[in-house]
Amino acid sequence: MAKSAMSDIDANAVAAATIFREARLLDRGEWADWVAMYREDAVYWVPAWLDEYETTSDPATQVSLIYHDARRGLEERIERIESRKSITALPLPRTVHQISNVEASETGPGQISCDSVFAVHVYDPRIARGHVHHGRYRHLLTRDGEEWKIARKVITIANDRVPTLLDFYSI
């Protein structure tokens, strides 16, 4: 079967490279490079669980754990941490993002949707306590010239009873 002009990309390779880079930047605290991966109008959404089986589905009428409809919301979180005024970041925990089961597909011209799973190991040196946040990611990537940007990221956390706090670096 002849390939269309737009599908001469390897969606899986593009998505994996993007998502793994995002994980590396988060784990290394390279916040500026990390947030630059997002489009200015990017949606960053961590739904809450309604019951044992279902998450919230509408951020306008339901409460999410985190919902930002622009990159600005993430930038505020970074500023808060860098201000050294938030005790949550004094000290910052050390994190390791492990991501696998990457399944991507091209969903339109210059657009890739990708499902993956994550386990983020968080270690808080203040109390020598570790925790694993685990769940699923769904990324929507769009092409911006030569670059791929994150247009939307949905993070579904399996273990949603939050120990003390949760922020962008720990999921």
Partner 1 sequence: MNAPLRNEAAQLLAISRLVDDRPNERIFQVDRSIFTDPKVFDAELRYIFEATWNFIGLEAQIASPNDFVTTHIGRHSILLMRSAQGKVGAFLNTCRHRGTVVCPFKQGRQKFHVCRYHGWAYDSGGRNVSVTEEASGQYPNSFSDENHDLVPVARLGSYRGFLFASLSADVPTIEEFLGDTRAFLDLIADQSDSGALEFVPGASTYTFDGNWKLQFENGLDYYHFASTHSSYVDILKKRNAAAGSGAGHPTEADDEKEGQGSFSFDHGHAVNWSIKRAQLYGRPLGMDPARLDAVRQRVGTMRAKWMLRQRNLTIFPNLQVIDISSAQLRTWRPLAPDKTEMVSHCLAPVGESAAARTLRIRNYEDFFNASGLATSDDNVMYELCQTGYEATTAGPTQGYLRGAAQPGTGPSVHAGELGVHPPEWSFGAPGFGGETNFHPGYREWRRLLQRAAGKFE
**Among residue numbers 116 through 155, which ones bind partner 1 (CB under 8 A)?**
126-127, 129
Binding footprint of partner 1, residue count (CB under 8 A): 36
Interface with partner 1, residue 167, by CB under 8 A: yes
Interface with partner 1, residue 92, by CB under 8 A: no
What is the SS3 assignment for 64?
A: coil
Strand partners, 150: 38, 141
Compare residues 88 and 111 and give the one whose CB is closer to partner 1.
88
How far apart are CB 115 and partner 1 at their closest, in Å? 22
For the chain, what is the radius of gyration of the CA atoms? 17
Interface with partner 1, residue 12, by CB under 8 A: no
Strand partners, 153: 44, 139
Q: Which of 158, 159, 118 is nearest to 139 (CA)?
A: 118
The single residue among 29, 70, 88, 132 that binds partner 1, judged by CB under 8 A, is 88
Query: Which residue is listed with tokens 């399996």?
Result: 158
How far apart are CB 73 and partner 1 at their closest, in Å? 9
Query: Around Cβ 8, how many Cβ atoms within 10 Å?
Result: 8
Backbone angles phi, psi at 4, to 5 degrees: -75, 165
The single residue among 4, 60, 100, 128 that binds partner 1, judged by CB under 8 A, is 60
* Residue 125 near residue 104, CB atoms below 8 Å: no
Query: Which residues form the interface with partner 1 (CB under 8 A)?
Result: 46-48, 50-52, 56, 59-67, 76-77, 79-80, 83, 85-88, 126-127, 129, 160-167
